[in-house]
A and B are shown apart, each in its own frame.
Chain A
């Protein structure tokens, strides 16, 4: 693999996008771009990571992210193993640390973890030698999702610097929003967020995003409009009174989108609640790049596996 960059990617784990420099981010995006072509070949496999062992350790249900990592690893010829919470020892009372130590004893090269507790990947790195990728931890971060969002916008808009990104939804509890805010602002874009004030505390500004009470203010003149999935359990918190009221005031619809740039990209990390956070016509419309995000997810994860496992 010939890299155009002279930059050396020195990280072993990917826990938070806050840990990556602009040069690191550029390198991941560049590497992902060059790997993307592999997925469009008839034989979608390169031998780069042959003999490497990748474990998908998923303590939360996930279809898309787990499959995306698995496909990425297999296209790089790594051996992949999936452990989900229902089949692991955790249901027998084993702690995360014990699970980690047992996995470590089998010498995997990479552990990809999804967990409902924020910081679970950090705990893992303190106890094992393998590389760790955070595939979503609690309400902390989902860095590979942030990277695939950067890649998708970059593909369509070129330079990320100076772009206006609007994110609408439960910012406080969205690990995707956290990684996106960190990633986009690092690359020089500006991020405006909006949603019910119960979901968008003012402290979010300290992460680098502008907080708008009215979604119209966040979307105005935006290059990218992203909706986040509204989780039904938030109704009990109570953060919002009903999904219907949310859809009325914060759902992405045609009227709201008129305020954005005419060619504004429509994004969503999935899975979509159609008719709640986004109007189906918008999700399926010409400006939607929601499925491009999924495609790029594989490329970004191939790049991460390659770079974190010490690809030269």
Chain B
């Protein structure tokens, strides 16, 4: 059953579905073959080969998915939903709708709202607002009170209220001792620490990647070392404490190298990058396009290639969008005055599909990066199509071409450098717990 726009999901919406003849790609269970997926009562009832015989409920809704991919619901482990505080940019409801449109069944929302999510009160508010929206919403709590980087936030209480990880994303934790304590203290609650790795004494005042382009445009640069110096510290502290750390939005070849070597020596590190870092470079800033401004900034072609290599060889574990909605108020400004960040929920899958078409990533690797690994890293349900698990499923049409035009954007904000691009590969059906949250079949 499909939902009308704006309608809330209700338990009664769950029916039985047979997703037939698609290519079922489920690396969590080692499956990549033509077959059917049966969904009953919001759960995966069967994953079968075309030849298998199973009793199909008579009232079952059937989708013929020949030529399409049936994959575990995509999970974006790094988004900004702007609620509470900046609802004119995005709300939990609109962000979840954008997620569903992009093929996501779950998102993890960063705590730099207004007020920041540094307490169980704010976490509870987010959980309440997320009830009935079109995507699962996993709040990330602050590492420090007020995200000010001086005292630990009430991490245990936030965990009780529903956070799945902690991060001061948007700002680095400058104080090394505080970051160390966060890694240690989070262990009690089995919570992941996500690091926004940036050495701000090297990046302060910067507006774009430091290099030829920043000199040409007369913009203050943010050098690669602002990221790698900080990543090095975070990895060293993860080694020292023996605790896991997750590096957010990796943008540089140096950081990819550091993470690769850390993994080789057994450091408990995971890492994500965003589609813009493997799609664009600092050349795309063009003539001061503020929709190409984000932090970390778009880097060089060398970095872009290193990011792609890191995704392919397992150094980078996840693709996350860093979906950062801003209105014209924050973007239609002088470049150095404009806000950092771009939306990404509705372009992540097509941009990643470009890597699959280029042969850089196999389809199963893409599913690992966009569903399986994010679920494992965050320790949440989903990421695979195991029997009996919640039916969070995305159907991808790998050949579907479309123009990403401003009037089709579901997110409340339109700050994307990909507007008017021709993209190929799209989520055509998104199902969360057996309820259809997006359907263009």
* Residue positions of A touching B, CB distance < 8 A: 18, 95-97, 115, 117-120, 122-123, 137-141, 172, 175, 178, 201, 203-204, 206-207
Asked if A117 contacts B216 (CB within 8 A), the reply is no
A172 to B, closest residue via Cβ = B215
Q: B206-236 vs A: 1/0 string, CB under 8 Å? A: 0000011001111110000000000000000
Asked if B219 contacts A95 (CB within 8 A), the reply is no
* Residue positions of B touching A, CB distance < 8 A: 211-212, 215-220, 287-288, 332-337
Neighbouring A residues of B335 by C-beta, 8 Å: 117-119, 123
Neighbouring B residues of A172 by C-beta, 8 Å: 215
Q: Which of A97, A138, A140, A203 contacts B211 (CB 8 A)?
A: A203
Neighbouring A residues of B211 by C-beta, 8 Å: 203
A134 to chain B, nearest CB (A): 11
Besides A95-B333, A207-B215, 10 more A-B contacts (Cβ < 8 Å) are A18-B216, A95-B332, A118-B219, A123-B333, A140-B219, A172-B215, A178-B218, A203-B212, A206-B212, A207-B212
Asked if B332 contacts A137 (CB within 8 A), the reply is no
Neighbouring B residues of A201 by C-beta, 8 Å: 215
Given A123-B288, A206-B212, A118 contacting B332 (CB threshold 8 A)? no
Given A203-B215, A204-B215, A119 contacting B287 (CB threshold 8 A)? yes
Given A118-B288, A122-B287, A123-B288, A140 contacting B217 (CB threshold 8 A)? yes
CA distance A139 to B214 in the complex (A): 10
Asked if A118 contacts B217 (CB within 8 A), the reply is yes
Neighbouring A residues of B216 by C-beta, 8 Å: 18, 178, 206-207
CA distance A96 to B216 in the complex (A): 22
Q: Which 7 pairs, one residue from A and one from B, show the smallest C-beta to C-beta distance?
A: A140-B218, A119-B288, A117-B334, A118-B218, A139-B218, A206-B212, A119-B335
A77 to chain B, nearest CB (A): 33
B307 to chain A, nearest CB (A): 21
Neighbouring B residues of A120 by C-beta, 8 Å: 334
Asked if A138 contacts B218 (CB within 8 A), the reply is yes
A117 to B, closest residue via Cβ = B334
Asked if B336 contacts A117 (CB within 8 A), the reply is yes
Q: Which of A18, A97, A122, A178 contacts B332 (CB 8 A)?
A: A97
Asked if A119 contacts B215 (CB within 8 A), the reply is no
Neighbouring B residues of A95 by C-beta, 8 Å: 332-333
B207 to A, closest residue via Cβ = A118
CA distance A96 to B212 in the complex (A): 27
Residue with the highest number of chain A CB atoms closer than 10 Å, among B212, B216, B334: B334
CA distance A206 to B217 in the complex (A): 13
B177 to chain A, nearest CB (A): 27
Neighbouring A residues of B288 by C-beta, 8 Å: 118-119, 122-123
A140 to B, closest residue via Cβ = B218
B214 to chain A, nearest CB (A): 8
Q: List 17 A-B contacts (CB under 8 A).
A: A18-B216, A97-B332, A97-B333, A118-B218, A118-B288, A118-B335, A118-B336, A119-B288, A119-B335, A120-B334, A123-B334, A137-B218, A139-B219, A178-B218, A204-B215, A206-B212, A206-B215
CA distance A97 to B333 in the complex (A): 7
CA distance A206 to B332 in the complex (A): 30
CA distance A87 to B398 in the complex (A): 57
A175 to B, closest residue via Cβ = B218
Neighbouring A residues of B333 by C-beta, 8 Å: 95-97, 123
B220 to A, closest residue via Cβ = A139
B300 to chain A, nearest CB (A): 11
Neighbouring B residues of A96 by C-beta, 8 Å: 333-334
CA distance A206 to B213 in the complex (A): 9
Asked if B212 contacts A117 (CB within 8 A), the reply is no
A140 to chain B, nearest CB (A): 3
Neighbouring B residues of A118 by C-beta, 8 Å: 217-219, 288, 335-336
Neighbouring A residues of B217 by C-beta, 8 Å: 118-119, 140
Neighbouring B residues of A175 by C-beta, 8 Å: 218
Asked if B336 contacts A138 (CB within 8 A), the reply is yes
CA distance A203 to B334 in the complex (A): 24
A199 to chain B, nearest CB (A): 11
CA distance A311 to B88 in the complex (A): 47
A173 to B, closest residue via Cβ = B218
CA distance A115 to B335 in the complex (A): 12
CA distance A119 to B334 in the complex (A): 7
CA distance A16 to B166 in the complex (A): 46
B439 to chain A, nearest CB (A): 38
A182 to B, closest residue via Cβ = B216
CA distance A118 to B287 in the complex (A): 10
CA distance A115 to B337 in the complex (A): 12
Neighbouring B residues of A138 by C-beta, 8 Å: 218-219, 336
A237 to B, closest residue via Cβ = B205
Q: Which of B215, B287, B334 contacts A115 (CB 8 A)?
A: B334
CA distance A206 to B214 in the complex (A): 11
B358 to chain A, nearest CB (A): 28
Q: Which of A18, A97, A119 contacts B219 (CB 8 A)?
A: A119
Neighbouring A residues of B336 by C-beta, 8 Å: 117-119, 138
Neighbouring B residues of A137 by C-beta, 8 Å: 218
Given A95-B332, A122-B287, A122-B288, A117 contacting B215 (CB threshold 8 A)? no
